[in-house]
Amino acid sequence: MALTSTAEDYLLAIYGLRAEGGPVIAARLAERLGVSAPTVSASLDRLVRDAHVWINPQREVYLTLGGERTAEKLARRHRLIEHWLIRTLGLGWAEVHHEADRLEHAISPELTDRISEALGHPPTCPHGLPIPGNYPETDVGNLFKLSSADIGSKVRVVRLSEPAEDDSDLLHYFEDKQLVPGRVIDVVEKTPAGHIVVQVDDQAAVVDDTVADNLWVMAG
């Protein structure tokens, strides 16, 4: 049975939240997808019935093997579409996520592979998230959030968090301050309020908890 676009959205959300760490529970899914708790509960019941997810006694949600394979295909399609929209149509870095959300349900696996080939099989999406099938998982253990970086250290931005892609204002902030994958930044100091001051080239920026918790970095 073909999955509905709503079911695909749930699998992709669960996949993304799992990659971020921490338990995936109904409340996190409701927040991520912008729906009510009863809606999440009903949708999860259908996904369990169709053997795409399972739920443990602590009410934590997991993908089945089949559900994970489907989610990986969806993540691959979505992240390749983002690259294609930027390189081919010139869409902005902060806009492509929501456009890819609309297109990911309509593109075939064959076209997905053709897009990957035409783009040179990029390992990550424009926001640094790994593209399944293209990405060698070699640096995952070296990643940490900017909020955990030592003062005086130099770090390289590797990727955004999964939830950050859904926040248009946050994406525009990252783009404006050049806190984007590949940039090396200096962690200068902490303010009395606990915010981090970073420097990108010759531009300083005060980074609050929301920003710092949504950027994955590694030692630069």
Here the CATH number for the domain that contains residue 209 is 2.30.30.90
- The string of pLDDT tens digits covering residues 31-85 is 999 999 999 999 999 999 999 999 999 999 999 999 999 999 999 999 999 999 9
The answer on 194 and 167 residing in a single domain is yes
What distance in Å separates the CA atoms of residue 183 and residue 216, rounded to the nearest whole number?
12
Which residue, 63, 82, 107, sits at the end of a domain? 63
The answer on 149 and 201 residing in a single domain is yes
CATH number at residue 48: 1.10.10.10
- Residue 68 is assigned to a structural domain of this protein: no
pTM of the model: 0.89
The answer on 124 and 160 residing in a single domain is no
The answer on 108 and 52 residing in a single domain is no
CB 171 within 8 A of CB 97: yes
The answer on 56 and 100 residing in a single domain is no
At residue 116, the pLDDT reads 96
Structure tokens that stand for 66 in this block: 């089949």
The answer on 146 and 119 residing in a single domain is no
> Beta partners for 219?
155
At residue 182, the pLDDT reads 93
At residue 17, the pLDDT reads 92
- Residue 95 is assigned to a structural domain of this protein: yes
Structure tokens that stand for 195 in this block: 């915010």
Burial 7-18, CB ≥16 within 10 A → b, else e: bbbbbbbbbbbb
Q: Is 134 exposed, middle or buried (0-12, 13-18, 19+ CB in 10 A)?
A: middle
Identity of the residue numbered 13: A
Element (H, E) at 86: helix 65-89
Range of the domain at 132: 73-136
CB 129 within 8 A of CB 82: no
At residue 86, the pLDDT reads 95
Sign of the dihedral defined by the CA atoms of residues 103, 46, 131, 92, in that order = positive
At residue 135, the pLDDT reads 79
The answer on 201 and 150 residing in a single domain is yes
Identity of the residue numbered 156: R
- Residue 39 is assigned to a structural domain of this protein: yes
Sign of the dihedral defined by the CA atoms of residues 155, 158, 164, 167, in that order = positive
Identity of the residue numbered 53: V
The answer on 191 and 163 residing in a single domain is yes
Give CA torsion, residues 45, 47, 50, 55, to 10 deg: -70
- Residue 26 is assigned to a structural domain of this protein: yes
The answer on 98 and 113 residing in a single domain is yes
Which segments of the chain have a pLDDT < 70? 1, 137-141
At residue 141, the pLDDT reads 67
Q: Please give the radius of gyration of the chain, using alpha carbons only, rounded to the nearest integer.
A: 18
The answer on 214 and 146 residing in a single domain is yes
Largest Cα–Cα distance of the chain, in whole Å? 56
Number of domains present in the structure of the chain: 3
CB atoms within 10 A of CB 115: 20
Which residue, 136, 157, 174, sits at the end of a domain? 136
The answer on 150 and 110 residing in a single domain is no
Tell me 160's DSSP state. Answer: E
